[in-house]
Chains A and B, each alone.
Chain A
Amino acid sequence: MIKDLIKQLWKDKFARIALVVLGIIYFALFFADFIAPYTKDFSDRSMAYVPPSKIFTIDENGKLSKPYTYNYKREFDENNLKIIYGLDRTKKHYVKFFAQGEPYKFLGLIPMKRHFITTDGDGRLFLLGADINGRDVFSRILFGGRISMTIGFLALFVLFPIGLLYGGIAGYFGGKTDMIMMRFAEAVMSIPSFYLLIILASVLPSGMTSVQRFMLIVIILALIGWAGFARVVRGMVLSVKNQEFVQAAKSIGASHFRIITKHILPQTTSFVIVAMTLSVPSYILSESGLSFLGLGIQQPDASWGNMLKEAQEYTNIIYRPWLLTPGFLIFVAVLAFNLIGDTIRDILDPKSKVR
Chain B
Amino acid sequence: MQILLYILKRILQTIPLLIIVSLISFFIIRLSPVDPLAELRLNPSVSKETLQAETQRLGLDRPIIVQYGKWAKSFVKGDLGVTSNGEKVSTKLAERIPNTLLLTIIVIFLSWVVGIPLGIVAAVNWKTPFDRILTVLTSIGMAIPSFFFAVLLLIFAVKTGWFPVGGLTSSNFADMSFSQKFLDITHHLILPVTVLFTLSLAGLQRQMRGNLLDVLDSDYVKFARAKGISEFKVIFKHALRNAVNPLITLLGFEFAGLLSGAALTEYVFQYPGLGRLILEAVLKSDINLVMASLMMGAVMLIAGNLIADILLIITDPRIRNGS
Contacts and interface: CB of A to CB of B under 8 A. Distances in A.
B25 A199 contact: yes
B16 interface: yes
A183 B158 contact: no
A317 B263 CA distance: 21
Nearest to B290: A199
A184 B31 CA distance: 19
A277 interface: no
Given A199-B29, A281-B143, A324 B135 contact: no
A293 to B, nearest CB: 7
B147 A191 contact: no
Interface in B124-176: 126, 135, 139-140, 142-148, 151-152, 154-155, 158-159, 165
Interface stretch (A101-109, A260-268, A329-337): A329-337
B275 A191 contact: no
Given A285-B145, A331-B145, A355-B135, A192 B283 contact: no
A355 B147 CA distance: 27
B81 interface: no
A246 B210 CA distance: 34
B294 interface: yes
B283 A202 contact: yes
Contacts of A331: 143-145, 148
Interface string A190-222: 111111101110110100000000000000000
B151 A324 contact: yes
Nearest to B166: A314
Nearest to A191: B298
Contacts of B147: 288-289, 292, 308
A205 B33 contact: yes
Given A330-B145, A331-B148, A191 B24 contact: yes
B294 A195 contact: yes
A191 B148 CA distance: 24
A195 B297 contact: yes
A198 B28 contact: no
A232 interface: no
B128 to A, nearest CB: 13
Contacts of B20: 183-184, 187
A335 B165 contact: no
A232 to B, nearest CB: 13
A272 B131 CA distance: 29
Contacts of B272: none
A317 B256 contact: no
Contacts of A318: 155, 158-159
B264 A289 contact: yes
B105 to A, nearest CB: 16
Q: How large is the interface on A (under 10, 10 to 19, 20 to 34, 35 or more residues)?
A: 35 or more
A160 to B, nearest CB: 21
Contacts of A293: 264, 267, 279
Interface in B102-118: none
A191 B297 contact: yes
Contact of A352 (B31, B144, B145, B210): B210
Contacts of B126: 353
A330 B147 CA distance: 11
Contacts of A351: 214, 217
Contacts of B142: 334, 338
Contact of A308 (B151, B213, B301): B151
A182 B158 CA distance: 48
A315 B234 CA distance: 56
Interface in A275-326: 281, 285, 288-289, 292-295, 308, 311-312, 314, 317-318, 324
Contact of B154 (A186, A203, A314, A335): A314
A308 B148 contact: yes
Interface in A144-181: none
Nearest to A354: B210
Given A191-B294, A318-B155, A198 B263 contact: yes
Interface string B236-269: 0000000000000000000010011101100110
A345 to B, nearest CB: 10
A52 interface: no
B201 to A, nearest CB: 15
A187 B17 contact: yes
A259 interface: no
A200 B16 CA distance: 23
B288 interface: no
A327 B268 CA distance: 14
A188 interface: yes
17 contacts: A183-B17, A184-B20, A191-B297, A192-B263, A198-B263, A198-B278, A292-B147, A317-B151, A317-B155, A318-B155, A324-B151, A327-B152, A331-B143, A335-B143, A351-B217, A353-B214, A354-B206
Interface of A: 183-184, 186-196, 198-200, 202-203, 205, 281, 285, 288-289, 292-295, 308, 311-312, 314, 317-318, 324, 327, 330-332, 334-335, 338-339, 342, 351-355
Given A314-B165, A324-B151, A338-B139, 10 more contacts: A183-B16, A190-B18, A191-B25, A202-B283, A289-B146, A293-B267, A293-B279, A308-B147, A327-B148, A331-B143
Leading 6 A-B pairs by shortest Cβ distance: A194-B260, A187-B20, A335-B143, A327-B148, A203-B32, A192-B259
